[in-house]
Amino acid sequence: MKETAVLIMAAGKGKRMKSDLPKVLHNLAGKPILNYVFDTINHFEVKRKIIIVGYKSEKIRELIGDKIEYAEQKEQLGTAHAVLQTKELLSDFKGNVLILSGDVPFLTVKTLKRLLKYHQSNNFCCTLMSAILKNPQGYGRIIRDKEGKMEGIIEEVDLPADKKLITEINTGIYCFDKETLFQALEKIVPENKQGEYYLTDLVKILLKEGLEVGSIIAKDNSEILGINTQLDLANASKKVYQRMIQKLMFQGVSIIDPNSTFIEPGVKIGQDTIIYPFTIIEKGTKIGKSCLIGPYSHLIDANIGNGVKIWASIIESSTVKERVNIGPYTHLRPETIVKKGAKIGNFVELKKTILGEGSKASHLTYLGDAVIGKQVNIGAGTITCNYDGQKKNKTVIEEGVFVGSNNSLVAPVKLGKGSYTGAGSTITEDVPAGNLAIARARQKNISGWVNRKKKDKK
């Protein structure tokens, strides 16, 4: 069996996306469109992997790094011109060249193997994949004679009126004999409205030379659908989310409304967990058994234990242990750890903080760069003043501390085991274990002040 080189076409801007970002870098349910193609070819045994870049190529290089070879198409002169840029790279290669589009994310390894096997077993110089679509708008059409023999491919923009009803389309997926490919590329002339060198013209050239061109029809049209517009991207994302949700539901996860829930591939959720509507769960997140998540929650790279309840809250790169209650309107920022049985409530924000087992921060609180022990009560309106203008400082609150409402804890500061602080205090010094700290001005009542003020106004 001949060796195979894969070329990924990713040089275009994608004008119909109406975006400055290269089309293949748009986010599709949690990762760039291009990464779906890479995931496929990484499970496909090939000799060479080359990506053809052009528009804002530095952004694609930044994403991929040195995991692949690059060919640069400096001028956007069409698909054939793009492939021609790999000629030098493949000068010593002998075998088949598989050409894929970077904006077709759902191709499977099984389908590519089927194409390659058909190509090699019939010894074709070129084999393309076609598909039958009810609505072929936007795709080049496969032109056949009355006997069904292929005559060529015409792009949508150049399609005459009498051919627009053709429903067999070109998917842009090809397998070529390498030598034949580059010989034919030199013969293409841009005879089209765009003035571009089309890869589809190769078929016509090869057929004119009496060479055999094969074709196979895709078994699953969803695999070959390309992403050309923002609408295409939204529909593709929906497809990915729905697949993931169905997978989870078959594993025993309850999802109240799949149409308003967005869970990225790679998320793991235990059985008997319930996901409420308008919840977003991003990759890297692990959720245990018997949890209640949402509605209106957003989890990003979160590690959630069993029996946790999260209501209308945001959790980023944080760990939440068993039987914790969170929300509504809680924000856990990165590097936060919430231990077993703790409670975090309304409008509370934690950043790089450890909240101990059974501790509570129920209302209107900010805790940053803090280590908080077991069974601590954080009063409403309490904040850690962790930033001094140059660096972040640590607050340590030991086991069993009671922090009064509306406290400002000016770090670095330590509250010893079992200590108390009075409401309204600004704590600037360490509080020894078992002490009560009160740090506020003494109240003064001024008799008759209101009446005097009223007389002054008159």
Residues belonging to the active site: 363
Q: Which of 81, 63, 65, 70 minimizes the C-alpha distance to 48?
A: 70
Element housing 247 (H / E) = helix 230-250
Scan for tokens 């084999």, then name that residue: 127
Using an 8 Å Cβ cutoff, are 32 and 63 in contact?
yes
- Map residue 67 onto helix, strand or coil: coil
Instruction: Give every CB contact of residue 382 below 8 A, 6+ residues apart in sequence.
Output: 361, 365, 366, 367, 403, 404, 405, 406, 407, 408, 409
String of DSSP letters for 266-306: T-EE-TT-EE-SSEEE-TT-EE-SS-EE-SS-EEES-EE-T
**d(C-alpha 314, C-alpha 312), whole Å:** 7
**d(C-alpha 455, C-alpha 458), whole Å:** 5
Q: Which amino acid is at 154?
A: I
Using an 8 Å Cβ cutoff, are 376 and 401 in contact?
yes
- Give the CB-side neighbour count of residue 435, counting CA atoms within 13 A: 13
| Phi, psi (deg, nearest 5) at residue 246 | -60, -40
Scan for tokens 């501390």, then name that residue: 401
- Give the CB-side neighbour count of residue 135, counting CA atoms within 13 A: 2
